[in-house]
Structure 1
Amino acid sequence: MDDLEFRRRIMADPKARDAEILAALQSSESNAQFAEEVLELDAQLEKALKIDVPEDLADRILFTQTTHSLPITNRFSRKMFALAASIAFIAGLLIGQLQWHNILIPPAYASLPDMAIAHVQNEKAFVQGIDEQASNVQINAKMQPLAAKLTAQFPYHVYYLNHCGFGKANAVHLVFAGEKGKVTLFLVPLPSDKVTQFDQQGMRGVVEPLKQSSLIIVGQQNEDISKITAKILPIIQPMN
């Protein structure tokens, strides 16, 4: 299990401790620290949700009269209303913290450059300490589901290689050594109708049409993306 998969599983279930998780914890101090921090955060959230419900909360929200003159059955009902109201209040606070821009705009309506930049930024911390030294055989194995393959040796040292979610599609995510720093490549099963160069948020890149797919390369602003693309694009062959 690579570090990225480990972190995803821990984020999904902070208390998970199966054989693979335990092996990842024992093999990496950073993994162990990350799991401990996520578990602590989970405990804090659980504690925050266990709050006492004010007995008069429902009265203030739903009613104007007091409960002292009501039957016990009505008092019980009001306590249930109070509990529901407090849960709704907490849910409102949590929902308010979400990034609605990302939720309300489906990935299908975002541009490929925007999705690529966001992906690089979101997973930078996950892949920065990884050096898998992936080979051509491994790269071709990842490209095979996307009906593509390398026809020559990949010309750069590969630090990280995996599949990833890219909008509603699964893409090949590859991080390699450029001339100025690390460069990210995405092979995405989403078509593009023209070559698109982009320069934003301190990064620059290019989208290259590749039959029914797109090749996206993203690097730092001082990286010669055109030179890198000229080396990589000719050796990626669509298989259909």
Structure 2
Amino acid sequence: MDELEFRRRLVADPQDEEVAKYASQQPELQAQLEDMRDFDKFLSHSLDIDVPDGLAERIIAKQQLLEEEHDKVTHVSWFRRISAPLAVAASMLFAAVIFYYGGLAHPTDTAEHALAHVYYEQNALEKQESVPLQTVNEKLAMLGGKFDTLPGKIVYATFCNFKGQKSLHLVMQSEFGPLTVFVVPADQQSTQDQKDNFSDSRFEGLIAHHEKANTILVANRGAPLERFQTEVNNSLRWL
């Protein structure tokens, strides 16, 4: 087993005994193993929460009410159909549903999940301390990639649960404010989304589909997302 095979098998099964044996030979790999196992436990616990009775019905009823109040607007994300103050509160509720009740019969699409994820972790947008390139790449390596250079000042880097997938959540500070980047391993869902651009009253985003993973960017409205996407993709290399 080489290091690349170790990383691939680590992502696939952190409990693999051969992976653990290989990692025991190098402290750096052992740290990656423990990090991934901790995240695996977090992911399992976050998806193993009982859904309160009637929660799905209440959410659906809320969406139907919004649609009735704004029947002149069709085929638009419900994030756009509420005023700015209500949007934040509603998004926080929706984010909690996504994170803790992922088994509902009406899953959201990638765009709405990305927005909800950003609202749910708004504290990450306020961070200022720089995260070293090595730290970012140690996490990204578990998904099979690396940055040759950082596309900007990274202030937040952690694994996250993105629609049930182990993904990397980054926040980069820019002259247009914080930029959130999700690196999500390519799966069947990556080919099902039909729209690449999305937005609500506060943020807009861009989804770039790739063979290895999708990169999903979310920034303040008016930020040059195409430019940011190009910078991220030019810096990102797959092993």
- For normalisation by structure 2, the TM-score amounts to 0.54
Q: Say if 1:139 and 1:119 are closer, same or farther in 2 by CA, change over 3 A.
A: same
Partner of 1:123: 121
Partner of 1:170: 166
* 8 Å contact kept, 1:186–1:216: yes
* 8 Å contact kept, 1:203–1:220: yes
Task: Report the identity percentage.
Answer: 20
Deviations 1:76-102 (A, max 9, x none): xxxxxxxxxxxxxxxxxx756787454
* Cα distance in structure 2, aligned partners of 1:117 and 1:212: 22
Partner of 1:232: 232
SS in 1 for 2:227: helix
Q: Say if 1:132 and 1:161 are closer, same or farther in 2 by CA, change over 3 A.
A: farther
Partner of 2:206: 206
Deviation at 1:105, TM superposition (A): 3.4
Matched, 1:154 2:153: no
* 8 Å contact kept, 1:195–1:209: no
AA partner of residue 150 (structure 1)? F
* 8 Å contact kept, 2:125–2:171: no
User: Which range moved further: 156-165 or 184-193?
Assistant: 184-193
Deviations 1:8-58 (A, max 9, x none): x9xx9xxxxxxxxxxxxxxxxxxxxxxxxxxxxxxxxxxxxxxxxxxxxxx
Partner of 2:69: none
1:1-240 to structure 2, matched below 5 A, reads: 95=53, 100=59, 102=97, 103=101, 105=104, 109-125=107-123, 127-151=124-148, 153-191=149-187, 192-193=190-191, 196-239=196-239
* Cα distance in structure 2, aligned partners of 1:154 and 1:213: 18
Structure showing greater radius of gyration is 1
Count matched residues.
148
* 8 Å contact kept, 1:198–1:206: yes
SS in 2 for 1:210: coil
SS in 1 for 2:226: helix
Larger RCO, structure (CA 8 Å, separation 6 or more): 2
**Structure 2: gaps of 5 or more residues:** 1-37, 46-51, 61-96
* Cα distance in structure 1, aligned partners of 2:129 and 2:217: 19
Q: RMSD of the TM alignment (CA)?
A: 3.1
Deviation at 1:132, TM superposition (A): 3.5
AA partner of residue 226 (structure 1)? E
* 8 Å contact kept, 1:164–1:172: yes
